[in-house]
Amino acid sequence: MSKRIDITDLDIYYGSFQAVADVTMTIEERSVTAFIGPSGCGKSTFLRTLNRMHEVIPGGRVDGEVTIDGKNLYGKGVDPVDVRREVGMVFQRPNPFPTMSIKENVLAGVKLNSQRISSKAGNELLERSLRSANLWEEVKDRLDKPGSGLSGGQQQRLCIARAIAVQPEVILMDEPCSALDPISTLAIEDLINELKEEYTVVIVTHNMQQAARVSDRTGFFNLEATGKPGKLVEMDDTTRIFNNPSQKATEDYISGRFG
């Protein structure tokens, strides 16, 4: 299921403003890749180019190539809707559909993608997705209750279940714990660790300890000055980035000497 992603010479723009310049990297399959770096260096922007979410912003465009197992996401004739099914996304604030039940939330993407499924298959997919998101035991007796009635941490796991239900290859997470308490954060971190058995996981985090705890590989982005594009300074095994980075800028950032 899981696939590797190759990014080559990627430039990202908002209108005439270039937010990110010249990123080349490989994201390994069945692993967790974290992006760290100071606020505004383009981590979230870059993440959104991996499932063609960047271009929904007016003026949003990219130059360069992103391939998943060799297939160019930006190739002619590629439907962004298919890309977003293959590459799911979880956001900073849990965003369950407020009027939908827990069950409807999990199956929402499946229905949107107009894969018509029987009620038996739907129930199986519901349970499987909630189990994969470590939420089944907590909600199995109230599947028809509103998703918005869950705690913040449960809502975020519900959103992860919703992302998993459409059977993506890749799961992108943009600061998935920043709105959560420490206990819920640990639950999500445990879950991320399990998800990499099956999926390619990419996470943006402002929390360096979190990157160190959950990721196998880390990319450090930096910004030379305000108004300049963010760049990938280096990418390596997480233990190496945190213990023995090759760039001084990385060392300054991870040791807190930044800015």
DSSP state of 97: -
For residues 229-246, b (16+ Cβ closer than 10 Å) or e, as one string? bbbbbbbbebeebbeebe
Supply the minimum distance, in Å, between the C-beta of residue 60 and ligand ADP: 7
Q: Which stretch binds ligand ADP (CB under 6 A): 32-40, 85-93, 184-192, 194-202?
A: 32-40
Q: Which stretch binds ligand ADP (CB under 6 A): 1-9, 43-51, 194-202, 247-255?
A: 43-51
Contact 156, 181 (CB under 8 A): no
Tokens of 150: 């869950």
Q: Which stretch binds ligand ADP (CB under 6 A): 39-47, 99-107, 188-196, 234-242?
A: 39-47
Distance linking the first and last C-alpha atoms of the chain: 41
- Which residue in 14, 91, 97, 136 binds ligand ADP (CB under 6 A)? 14
Which residue, 202, 150, 137, 146, is CA-closest to 176?
202
**Which CB sits closer to ligand ADP, 13 or 109?**
13
Assess 41 for contact with ligand ADP (CB under 6 A): yes
Contact 172, 50 (CB under 8 A): yes
Cα separation, 188 vs 206, in Å, equals: 15
Q: Which stretch binds ligand ADP (CB under 6 A): 33-41, 68-76, 150-158, 162-170?
A: 33-41
Assess 19 for contact with ligand ADP (CB under 6 A): yes
Contact 7, 58 (CB under 8 A): no
**Which CB sits closer to ligand ADP, 45 or 238?**
45
- Which residue in 21, 27, 34, 43 binds ligand ADP (CB under 6 A)? 43
**Which CB sits closer to ligand ADP, 43 or 196?**
43
Supply the minimum distance, in Å, between the C-beta of residue 44 and ligand ADP: 3
**Which CB sits closer to ligand ADP, 43 or 217?**
43
Cα separation, 34 vs 27, in Å, equals: 10
Assess 57 for contact with ligand ADP (CB under 6 A): yes
Assess 45 for contact with ligand ADP (CB under 6 A): yes
Cα separation, 127 vs 203, in Å, equals: 25
Total interface residues for ligand ADP by CB under 6 A = 11
Among the residues of the chain, which ranges form H helices?
43-49, 80-86, 102-112, 119-132, 136-139, 152-165, 182-195, 208-214, 238-243, 248-254
- Which residue in 42, 96, 147, 245 binds ligand ADP (CB under 6 A)? 42
Assess 44 for contact with ligand ADP (CB under 6 A): yes
Chain residues binding ligand ADP by CB under 6 A are: 14, 19, 37, 39-45, 57
